[in-house]
Amino acid sequence: MQEKLDSIKKEALDAVEAITEISVLEAWQVKYLGRSSAIMEVFKSLGTLSKEEKPAIGKAANIVKVALEAASEEKESQLKQERINQSLAGEKIDVTLPGRRTVSGGLHPTTQTLREIYRVFGDMGFQIYRSQEVETDQYNFQHLNFPPYHPARDMQDTFFVKSAEDRGDDPLMLRTHTSPGQIHAMLEHTSKYPDDPPPIRIILPGMCYRYEQITARSEIQFNQVEGLAVGKGIAFGDLKGTLSNFARRMFGQDAKTRFRASHFPFTEPSAEMDVGCFLCKGEGCSVCKGAGWLEILGCGMVHPTVLKNGGFDPEVYSGFAFGMGPERITMMRHHIEDIRNFWANDLRFLEQF
Ligand code: PHE
């Protein structure tokens, strides 16, 4: 019997030695330690043995069983450790690999220009005033002294929200410029200080909309920054001084400016301001189309009728106003040829700023 036990032990231990996989070890456990394994059969047969033999054989069989169990456990932990080692080897970090670039967002080029405009006018004491993008005909045109049949009121130029059929002669529209904000700001101010309103010095930034053919030079949606100063004794010289100063702070101390006579219904006199082309310094290039000058903004002295519509007495108060397009300015500064880039959301464009 002892011999039999020895051979059971030898066979089992030899077999476990060669095992390299958990699934094989499991089969081994069934074969050598399971219910119908040879060693279990020995235990089952103990009953048939004599009183003298039983304790010795039982003890010897138990020693074999414990040895097999120990071998099984050892193999199991060895295989598990190997598996861990393997997966760790796969996860090894190569410290010589180049790092991953972190992508940081940036401000849209128009936003950058807008913020610079705010900073320059903020330094000059202008506050920011915002007003609504959906306007009435009254504010967008009538209060600004547009004659009834002015071409700018045409269906060709304006996005209507509620048509004339719904609202008579005061249809709702998307504002075509930021100028209606002038009226809102003046009325708010003069109703707050009806007797002797203190001066106003504001810029009015915001989105404007025009029903236009989208081309490289014109979009249906764009920003404007309006400016308005109203007070006693404000003259055209203040307008020129403020805007030339703005140009120097925005485009560099050597920026040249010139004012050309123009026309807007809500200013009189009206002008357009050009700055000397910062690319060719006035020599003429592709950005300024050979002119040496770039048109930056429209401006003028606030029309007496507009002052009156804002609650100011034009005999006592005067003011100047201006309006510029930040997208246009951004195009000039960065030599951007196509205004459609601003809304295309193309990262190849946006990441350059
Ligand atoms: N609102 C004018 C435009 O859209 C610009 C402007 C504003 C001109 C204020 C004069 C004064 O073209």
- What string of H, E and C letters represents the secondary structure of the chain? CHHHHHHHHHHHHHHHHCCCCHHHHHHHHHHHHCCCCHHHHHHHHHHHCCCCHHHHHHHHHHHHHHHHHHHHHHHHHHHHHHHHHHHHHHCCCCCCCCCCCCCCCCCCHHHHHHHHHHHHHHHCCCEECCCCCEEEHHHHCHHHCCCCCCHHHCCCCCCEEECHHHHCCCCEEECCCCCHHHHHHHHHHHHHCCCCCCCEEEEEEEEEECCCCCCCCCCCEEEEEEEEEEECCCCHHHHHHHHHHHHHHHHCCCCCEEEEEEEECCEEEEEEEEEECCCCCCCCCCCCCCCCEEEEEEEEEECHHHHHHCCCCCCCCEEEEEEECHHHHHHHHHCCCCCCHHHHCCHHHHCCC
- Indicate if ligand 1 lies below 6 Å from the C-beta of 177: yes
The whole-number pLDDT of residue 156 equals 66
Mean pLDDT of 137-144: 95
CA of 114 to the centre of ligand 1 (A): 17
* pLDDT at residue 285, as a whole number: 84
Q: Going by CA atoms, what residue is nearest to atom 7 of ligand 1?
A: 323
| Cα 317 to ligand 1 centre (Å) | 20
What pLDDT was estimated at residue 47? Answer: 86
298 close to ligand 1 (CB < 6 Angstrom):
yes
Which is more confidently placed, 266 or 102? Answer: 266
* Residue 264 in contact with ligand 1 by CB distance below 6 A: yes
Residue 302 beta carbon below 6 angstroms from any ligand 1 atom: no
Pocket flag, ligand 1, residue 326 (CB < 6 Å): no
Provide mean pLDDT across the span 207-212: 95
* Range picked from 42-51, 118-127, 207-216, 344-353 for highest mean pLDDT: 118-127
> Which of 14-18, 167-171, 304-308 is the least confident region?
167-171
Mean pLDDT of 106-127: 97
Note the pLDDT of residue 93: 84
What is the tens place of the pLDDT at every residue in 54-102?
Answer: 888 889 899 999 999 999 999 999 999 999 998 888 888 888 999 888 8
pLDDT of residue 148 exceeding 90, the answer is no
Q: Is the CB of 322 under 6 A from ligand 1?
A: yes
227 lines ligand 1 (CB under 6 A): no
Q: How far is the CA of 199 from the centre of ligand 1 (A)?
A: 21
Ranking 23-27, 43-47, 267-271 by mean pLDDT, the lowest is 43-47
| 15 has a pLDDT exceeding 70 | yes
Residue of 145, 177, 182, 260 to mutate, ligand 1, most atoms within 8 A of C-beta: 177
Mean pLDDT of 166-175: 86
- The predicted pLDDT at position 121 comes to 98
Tens digits of residue pLDDT in 285-343: 887 888 999 999 999 999 999 999 999 999 999 999 999 999 999 998 898 989 999 99
Residue 236's pLDDT is 98
CA of 257 to the centre of ligand 1 (A): 18
CA of 338 to the centre of ligand 1 (A): 22
Residue 65: predicted pLDDT: 92
300 lines ligand 1 (CB under 6 A): yes
Give the model confidence (pLDDT) of 222-263 as tens digits: 999 999 999 999 999 999 999 999 999 999 999 999 999 999
166 confidence band (pLDDT: 50, 70, 90): confident
- Whether the pLDDT of residue 53 is over 90: the answer is no
Distance 131 CA to ligand 1 centre (A): 16
> Can you give the pLDDT at residue 191?
97
By most ligand atoms within 8 Å of CB, the mutation choice from 157, 179, 303, 327 for ligand 1 is 179
Segment 158-185 mean pLDDT: 90
Average pLDDT taken over every residue of the chain: 92
Mean pLDDT of 143-148: 92
